[in-house]
Amino acid sequence: MQAANMYERHLDKNRANYTPLSPLSFIERTAAVYPDYPSVVYGDRRYSWAQTYARCRRLASALTARGVGKGDTVSIIAANIPELYEAHFGIPMVGAVLNAINTRLDAPIIAFILNHSEAKVLLVDPEFSAVVKEALPQVDHDLLVIDIEDPSFEGGERLGSLTYEALLDEGDPEFEWSLPADEWDAITLNYTSGTTGNPKGVVYHHRGAALNAQSDLLDWGMPKHSVYLWTLPMFHCNGWCFPWAMALNAGVSVCLRAVRAEPIYAAFREEKVTHFCGAPIVLNMLAHAPDHLKDFDHQIKVMTAGAPPPAAVIEAMEGMGVEVTHVYGLTETYGPSVVCAWKDEWNQKSAAERAALKVRQGVRYSALSGLMVADPETLEPVPADGETMGEIFMQGNVVMKGYLKNPDATDKAFNGGWFASGDLGVMYPDGYVALKDRSKDIIVSGGENISSVEVEGVLYKHPAVMEAAVVARPDEKWGETPCAFVELKPEASATEADLIAFCRDNMAHFKAPKTVVFGTLPKTSTGKVQKFVLRDQARALG
């Protein structure tokens, strides 16, 4: 046996020199150093960091008293309100796993998530009580339902016997929580539809959450005490890790229930927002808002991802004083993990040239160890010529633990020591990556992923449909929308409006096709639908 070298002898890891990485340490430090600084703003509700930390500890304490502990799943379906922010700390403080559910999902998928995750507790925002009420009878185990009360929201109904504030009243603001024993422990669970109708549960660990939150600040150049507006859903990749980033930043989270131009511009002015994130559809909405709303007088920065933002939208945003940073990532990589890192020398270029550069996805985040565009079979990198396409691969601490209860999908995603994104792109000579296509046929509409297979599955349920295939159609507002190509059964009849209405009745509305084209589907000699032909036809529609 080889003897240990001198740097290994008697130099073991111990409590004095090692602490597991976790974003939970961020809020503890900020509450101690900046207790009176503002933390969360939501209408008339204003919290300091001391208050937010106490509320998170109350939540953790109350959950513990009700039997929630390590490895238990606690789900929440809510808009961007303080309770969802607090859940990012209070739930993992007891070793439990936060599952923030997409508010745009329909009842069957919500029920699937609650069953698959074996959720022990569900926190419900009144805005989504109706769809949750429909989902609950489909849940196959006991579930503690807790109602979030929001005086600013009219409507909704009580589903449980306990409110969120009553739960907090049960808790101790001085609750002694602890960091995870292992930084590899799960911290959150996020579901993504992928390319099938059954969502996959993506598991994050404490280490990755901490590192990506740090990269958010570092790679965006975000100064301490920034004011961040929540236009990006906190359920989406845990808000790209910004709930934790803002705790480290000791900044202000301005919560926003409705993503509309008027309240966004009002927040710019009244709260002096410095940063926000959002899909290109949000930028497009702001760029085309009435000019009288655009009367803020300070520099604002936006981080955007999803479908690549049109260069014209980037120009429009920067023309009114909003600096755009383009990022790329997936649910499996904690949200953004690739950034179009800006170089000072590019400032000398024209606005059009700068926008063209910013359309590229960029280089790896500080927390990402590896990024390459390669042949998916050989893992050989493609030439860095900006033309040769390959699959985008990632590697590092901000790649998921894997898919919950799905070892086959996990093994498939981890290809030769790399995470296979399923997205096609090119590498430029300067090392910047640009996304070109999505090999998994995912449709990115308004920043949300839509599975073409799921939409096809609903269409096939229509009595008049014989065959159906769904691809993305470019859309100026949403980036992409589902376009269905349908072949009807002989002597059957259905209109475009009929099929769209049928889909909207049987799935989340945002997933329903916006366009239906009737005709025979192009196929290979083996009977496989040629989706690349359909994509060309969809693009030709404009």
| 118-129: pLDDT as tens digits | 999 999 999 999
Q: How far apart are the first and last CA of the chain?
A: 68
Q: In which element (H, E) is residue 99 found?
A: strand 97-100
Entry pTM: 0.85
DSSP classification of residue 541 = T
Domain range annotation of the chain? 24-205+250-258, 263-437, 442-540
442-540 homologous superfamily? ANL, C-terminal domain (3.30.300.30)
Residues 478, 501: Cα–Cα separation, whole Å: 19
Q: Exposed, middle or buried, 290 (CB in 10 Å: 0-12/13-18/19+)?
A: exposed
DSSP string for 217-280: HHHHT--TT-EEE--S-TTTHHHHTHHHHHHHHT-EEE-BSS--HHHHHHHHHHS---EEEE-H
Same fold, 263-437 and 442-540: no
* Amino acid at the residue 157: E
Whether 279 has a pLDDT exceeding 70, the answer reads yes
Residue 304: CB atoms within 10 Å: 28
Q: Which fold has domain 24-205+250-258?
A: Rossmann fold (3.40.50)
Tell me the residue ranges of DSSP E strands in 309-447: 322-330, 335-339, 363-364, 368-374, 390-396, 402-403, 414-415, 418-427, 433-438, 442-445
Residue 238 has pLDDT above 50, yes or no: yes
**26 contacts 187 by C-beta, under 8 angstroms:** no
**Triad 400, 139, 73: Cα angle to 5°:** 35
Q: What share of the chain is helix, strand, coil (3-state, %, to 5)?
A: 35, 25, 40
Say whether pLDDT at 196 is over 60.
no
Residue 489's pLDDT is 87
Considering the domain 263-437 in this protein, what is its CATH number? 3.40.50.12780
pLDDT per residue over 97-117, tens digit each? Answer: 999 999 989 999 999 999 999
Is pLDDT at 527 greater than 80 in this prediction? Answer: no
Distance CA 245, CA 234 (A): 12
Is pLDDT at 308 greater than 70 in this prediction?
no
- Which tokens go with 264? 């966004």
Q: In the predicted model, is pLDDT for residue 464 greater than 60?
A: yes
Greatest Cα pair distance in the chain? 83
Across 131-154, average pLDDT: 96
Mean pLDDT of 193-209: 81
Nearest to 88 by CA among 37, 145, 23: 23
Mean pLDDT (the chain, rounded): 92
> How far does CA 147 lie from the centroid of its chain?
24
Q: Which two tokens stand for residue 89?
A: 């700390």
* Per-residue pLDDT at 526: 40
Q: How far apart are CA 501 and CA 459, in angstroms?
A: 11
Closest CA to 219 of 431, 397, 365: 365
Amino acid 319 reads G
What is the band of 485 on the pLDDT scale with cuts at 50, 70, 90? Answer: very high
Whether 525 has a pLDDT exceeding 60, the answer reads: no
What pLDDT was estimated at residue 253?
A: 98
Q: Are 205 and 185 in contact (CB under 8 A)?
A: yes
Read off the pLDDT of each residue in 504-513 and give the average, rounded to a whole number: 92
CB 392 within 8 A of CB 421: yes
